[in-house]
Amino acid sequence: MSMTRKAVLTISANPFITRLVSKYGMKLGASRFVAGENMGDTLLKVKELNNEGLLVTLDLLGESVHTREEALVATDGAIRSFDAIQQQGVNSNVSVKLTQLGLDIDPYFCLDNMDRIVAKAKETGNFVRIDMEDSPRIDATMDIFSTLLEKYGRDHIGLVIQSYLYRSDKDVEQLGTHNVNLRIVKGAYKEPKEVAYPEKKDVDEAYRRLVASHLRNGCYTAIATHDIAIIQWAKTFVKENNISTDLFEFQMLYGIATSLQLDLAREGYKVRVYTPYGKDWYPYFSRRIAERPANALFILKSLFRK
Ligand code: FAD
């Protein structure tokens, strides 16, 4: 991990900075990365994206909740988003984080909450993907995922794998035997070198390896990156290996590489925009700044814009 990224992640955890940015950040520029603070505004953005040929996955922001009440509110929020998607007839599925649903409070409580969410996904003919968080939570996340995969089937639940982790080759192989729908990402958390590749070139190489392996196993793969070199490689790989465009999709974050998203959609690829919404946007926002400190400049500039 670069020094700058590490520094931004450390500074953003400072309580004073957290309070300051949470209060003013949405006006200062967080709205570039967050579709709205409420469902109504967000659905308008989803419709705009759909009209441009882009699919969506909605993410109700929030993570690491500390009380059962908060976790239940987040669970109801995710359930309500399936209803809203159905009522509005928009093309979107849903992504969730298990720490938001009570993973750190009690894994069984979290499983119950997640169970209700997948049940709703199934009832509305939709799909929910569990985002992957930092490495100490992976085994618990995998356990909950496996239980619900067995109960509801892979058409309604999927998972994320991070290419910066050494363990991911084995995980992809194992999940491939169950034909699991995986999103492959590079990984967004501050991880020690004991568990994750410290060098970007190794993370990128692992990324290609994991995507190639999952696609070769005939499994649905969401290629979630803004890395143009990897996207070009993926386009060539699928062509050379006669992989149907039905077996994969590109995914990118709301507000990032927007013209690339549109170009790929125009070329006929499926492109899904990870679209966060809600009031609790600060940790998500900090990770986006850490990935690209130039984003902080964008925020500063908006301070001086009329
Ligand atoms: P990088 O090599 O980091 O970036 C490639 C290029 O993309 C950069 O040169 C830059 O031009 C552009 N870029 C990248 N980030 C930004 C940014 N913030 N602002 C502006 N430009 C940028 N991580 C997890 O750990 N768990 C998850 O569940 C998870 N889900 C994700 C879902 C989606 C749809 C996406 C796209 C990412 C997700 N991530 C997740 C984040 C991911 O792990 C990376 O941190 C993030 O995608 C940046 O890496 P990159 O693949 O774009 O490549």
Residues 6+ apart with CB under 8 A from 38: 277
Strands 182-185 and 248-253: unpaired
The model's pLDDT over 153-192, given as tens digits with 9 standing for 90+, comes to 999 999 999 999 999 999 999 999 999 999 999 999 999 9
> What is the reported pLDDT for 305?
45
The ligand 1 atom nearest the CA atom of 164: 43
- On the CB side of 64, how many CA atoms lie within 13 Å of its CA? 7
Nearest CA to ligand 1 atom 5: 227
Task: Determine contact, residues 73/61, Cβ cutoff 8 Å.
Answer: no
Among residues 33, 2, 1, 8, the alpha carbon closest in space to that of 293 is found at 8
**What's the CA-to-centroid distance between 123 and ligand 1, angstroms?**
31
Is residue 76 part of the annotated active site? The answer reads no
The model's pLDDT over 62-104, given as tens digits with 9 standing for 90+, comes to 877 899 999 999 999 999 999 999 999 999 999 999 999 999 9
Binding site for substrate: which residues? 97, 287-288
> What confidence tier does 298 reach under pLDDT thresholds 50, 70, 90?
low
> What is the reported pLDDT for 10?
65
Binding site: which residues? 97, 132, 162, 186-188, 200, 225-226, 287-288
> What confidence tier does 306 reach under pLDDT thresholds 50, 70, 90?
very low
Query: Which one from 104, 131, 204, 280 is the annotated catalytic residue?
Result: 131
> What is the reported pLDDT for 145?
98
Nearest CA to ligand 1 atom 41: 188
Taking residues 246-270, report their average pLDDT. Answer: 97
The DSSP 8-state label assigned to residue 165 in this structure reads B
Higher pLDDT among residues 107 and 296, named by residue: 107
CA distances to 47, 125, 159 from 91, rounded to whole Å, are 8, 12, 19
The ligand 1 atom nearest the CA atom of 257: 21
The DSSP 8-state label assigned to residue 99 in this structure reads G
Tell me the CATH number for domain 3-16+42-299: 3.20.20.220
> What is the reported pLDDT for 30?
74
- The residue count of the chain comes to 306
ipTM score here?
0.97
Query: Which one from 137, 183, 272, 280 is the annotated catalytic residue?
Result: 183
The model's pLDDT over 32-70, given as tens digits with 9 standing for 90+, comes to 889 998 999 999 999 999 999 999 999 999 877 899 999
Ranges of each domain in the chain: 3-16+42-299
The model's pLDDT over 191-231, given as tens digits with 9 standing for 90+, comes to 999 999 999 999 999 999 999 999 999 999 999 999 999 99
Is residue 183 part of the annotated active site? The answer reads yes
Taking residues 3-21, report their average pLDDT. Answer: 62
The ligand 1 atom nearest the CA atom of 204: 2
Residue 293 in tokens: 């400190």
Rounded distance between C-alpha atoms, residue 114 and residue 126, angstroms? 14
Task: Determine contact, residues 243/215, Cβ cutoff 8 Å.
Answer: yes
**What's the CA-to-centroid distance between 85 and ligand 1, angstroms?**
25
Ligand 1 pocket residues where CB is under 6 Å: 131-132, 160, 162, 185-189, 224-227, 251-253, 256, 274, 288, 291-292, 295
Residues 6+ apart with CB under 8 A from 126: 82, 85, 86, 93, 94, 120, 156
Nearest CA to ligand 1 atom 36: 252
Helical H runs in the chain?
3-12, 15-28, 39-51, 68-88, 107-123, 138-152, 168-176, 200-216, 228-240, 258-266, 282-291, 294-303
pLDDT at 11 over 80: no
**What's the CA-to-centroid distance between 208 and ligand 1, angstroms?**
15
**What's the CA-to-centroid distance between 53 and ligand 1, angstroms?**
21
- What are the residues facing 222 on neighbouring strands? 183, 249
> What is the reported pLDDT for 164?
98
**What's the CA-to-centroid distance between 50 and ligand 1, angstroms?**
22
Among residues 61, 36, 60, 33, the alpha carbon closest in space to that of 46 is found at 36
CA distances to 46, 80, 272, 283 from 74, rounded to whole Å, are 20, 10, 23, 16
Dihedral pair phi/psi, residue 177, rounded to 5°: -70, -20
Report the amino acid identity of residue 166. Answer: Y
pLDDT at 147 over 60: yes
